[in-house]
Amino acid sequence: MIHAPKICVVGSINMDMTIQTRQMPRQGETVLGQSFALYPGGKGANQAVAATRLGAKVTMIGAVGEDEFGVTLRKHLQGEGIHTDGVIKNSEQSTGVANIILSEGDNRIIVAPGANAAVTEEVIDRHENIIQQSDIILLQLEIPLTTVAYAVKKAKQYHIPVVVNPAPYQHLPKEIIQDTTYFTPNEMEAEAMKKEAASSSIKDKMVVTLGSEGVHFYEDNMKKKVHSYSVPVKDTTGAGDTFNGAFVTQLAQGETLSRAIHFANAQLHYQSRKWGHKQACQQ
């Protein structure tokens, strides 16, 4: 493929409100944190940024509220070179936010989707041309599941491969299971999927990210493993998103599944160190 791969990310845009603390609070407990920062986030937006930084031409379909966070996040996406024609403004709900606690090299996240809930089937219809002109579609589950199912159906209609990152996990309707090209769950999400779908039917579509254990996938009916790299952990937020953005960039360029996974796995480790979550929004 000579041209830059064209990727459509249909997904969430959040402002991440991140507190770093030495001690994760227990139920009912208050602890003192060390720092607070606002970062542009949302699984969809993070994945779009990763793919763009790797040379893809990315268009995002998503939603922000008519508020300061919405303005900041749209500017952030545009500053990264992402096409935002498909990002609508919703006057009824505030921009999505994520409450993130960073502690002991790991995180806990609660997302209040807000305007992300406004990414409806009608929004997909309005931007159908973006889907039609893409080499691949990438979705996650921070927008309504009905919209995810609809976008997957549209992709199928145009014979465009589609990757679903099933996070945060929700029960997936049969149509999504059938028509998705690849799923990129983490270990817990993969377990939940296996319980719900006949695992033999989804085995070949599963690219399971296992953190420090690397990535599992099936090729020629055999389970394969790509080992992780050892890097100092600062902030794991968005590591999976980097994997997804890199993975689709490679698939869209016609790489094999195995090569796309190796590349994405390496990017995850290299880029999490390089990009981290340093790109604070200037408020």
Residues that bind ligand RIB (CB under 6 A): 12, 14, 16, 41-43, 46, 98, 109, 111, 142, 237-238, 240-241
**Strand ranges (E), the chain:** 6-10, 14-20, 35-41, 57-65, 83-90, 96-103, 106-112, 136-140, 162-165, 182-183, 207-209, 215-219, 222-226
User: CB-wise, 102 or 176, nearer to ligand RIB?
Assistant: 102
CB of 93 to ligand RIB, least distance (A): 16
Structure tokens at 14: 């959040």
User: CB-wise, 5 or 40, nearer to ligand RIB?
Assistant: 40
Q: Does residue 179 carry a catalytic annotation?
A: no
**What Å distances lie between residue 214 and 107, 114, 170, CA to CA?**
19, 33, 23
Nearest-angstrom CA–CA distance, 256 and 220: 12
* Contact (Cβ atoms closer than 8 angstroms) between residue 137 and residue 155: yes
Name the DSSP class of 206: B
User: CB-wise, 241 or 255, nearer to ligand RIB?
Assistant: 241
Q: Which of 67, 135, 235, 241 is catalytic?
A: 241
Structure tokens at 213: 């254990």
Of residues 167, 129, 126, the one with CA closest to residue 148: 167
Is 282 exposed, middle or buried, given 0-12, 13-18 or 19+ CB atoms closer than 10 A?
Answer: exposed
User: CB-wise, 154 or 185, nearer to ligand RIB?
Assistant: 185
Nearest-angstrom CA–CA distance, 36 and 21: 9
CB of 49 to ligand RIB, least distance (A): 10
User: CB-wise, 4 or 71, nearer to ligand RIB?
Assistant: 71
* Contact (Cβ atoms closer than 8 angstroms) between residue 145 and residue 169: no
Question: Which residue reads 């990315």 in tokens?
Answer: 58
CB of 40 to ligand RIB, least distance (A): 8
CB of 137 to ligand RIB, least distance (A): 18
Query: What is the number of the residue whose Cβ is closest to ligand RIB?
Result: 41
CB of 15 to ligand RIB, least distance (A): 8
Q: Give catalytic residues, as residue numbers.
A: 241
